Amino acid sequence: MSVQDAGKTYAGRSGAVHAVEHADFDIDEGDFVSLVGPSGCGKSTLMAMIGGLEAPSTGRIRVGGTPVDGPRRDFGYVFQDATLLPWKSVLDNVLFPIRAHRRPVTEFQPEAERLLRLTGLWDFRDKRPAELSGGMRQRVAICRGLIHDPRLLLMDEPFSALDAITRDDMNLALARLWDQQQRRTAVFITHSIREAVLLSDRVLVMNARPSRIVADIRVPLVRPRHAGLQEDPVFNQICAFVREKIHEGHGGHDV
Ligand SMILES: Nc1ncnc2c1ncn2[C@@H]1O[C@H](COP(=O)(O)OP(=O)(O)OP(=O)(O)O)[C@@H](O)[C@H]1O
């Protein structure tokens, strides 16, 4: 996919807000790319443009060779709050995009089972969201995002509401899922540098005012990714480098 000089300006109450300016990069098919940067630097806006949820004010975005001009069926979306349908079971929530796209549900049952088993949720398939923990609900949301084997999976801070231990588990669950999926393309927003490095092939660092991409960092760690990687000196060096780039662009404040 390619983001070509994309920008977004919102009409704020006290004048124009340049949420994203001159974003220009390509993502290779199969790459997992994280967007990191300080609050308000435009990560969600950039992702919303890539996902066709916001129209760019300038520039162009193309996925699979075609311009993105609205939400697409070949995309999967996962947001901060799982936003599951409370009256539906776990299994029906996972299958929801299939029903919404009027595709044959029975054809996707085996894939739903595979995803729910991989994320340890198969035994909970008949439960309602209210009967699950926050981490389990996010896992359901990720299964739902992947059920139709999207060309592009967009995840906006999917784990930010979770406690640290659950979040660690979720990172590993997502890494495992990703390594077992046929390596679709993913764009992932997070405030956690370690999470970004653990999961990604590339980390894009964004800066606020002006909202720009200030660093594009490759993560040359082997796949499959596993928990032990976090003790690896290379892992920690990459984290330190990403942190440095964020601070350079942010006047030394914490993210
Ligand atoms: N609909 C909107 N109307 C006006 N301004 C907006 C709108 N959406 C976002 N903004 C502004 O655009 C800028 C970028 O916001 P955005 O949510 O993309 O940043 P972010 O990096 O995702 O932030 P966070 O990390 O806090 O989620 C902010 O200044 C925000 O106030």
Per-residue pLDDT reduced to its tens digit, 10-54: 998 888 999 999 999 999 999 999 999 999 999 999 999 999 999
CB atoms within 10 A of CB 245: 22
Q: Which domain holds residue 14?
A: 2-74+150-249
Q: Which of 14, 45, 157, 195 to mutate to test the pocket of ligand 1 (most atoms within 8 A of CB)?
A: 45
Q: Is the pLDDT of residue 255 over 60?
A: no
Is there a domain that residue 134 lies in? no
pLDDT tens sequence across 48-99: 999 999 999 999 999 988 999 999 999 999 988 778 999 999 999 999 999 9
The pLDDT value recorded for residue 251 is 56
Cα 45 to averaged position of ligand 1 atoms, centre (Å)? 6
Which atom number of ligand 1 is nearest to the Cα of residue 47?
A: 18
Query: How far apart are alpha carbons 188 and 211 in whole angstroms?
Result: 18
What pLDDT does 254 receive?
43
Buried b (16+ CB within 10 A) or exposed e, 192-203: bbbbbbbbbbbb
Contact 30, 150 (CB under 8 A): no
Q: Give the pLDDT score at 253.
A: 46
In a domain, residue 38? The reply is yes
Say which CATH number the domain at 166 has. 3.40.50.300
Q: Hey, which bits of the chain come out as E strands?
A: 2-12, 15-26, 32-36, 58-63, 66-67, 75-78, 152-156, 185-189, 202-207, 212-218
Assigned domain for 225 exists: yes
Is residue 60 in a domain? yes
Indicate whether 252 pLDDT > 70. Answer: no
Entry pTM: 0.92
pLDDT at 93: 97
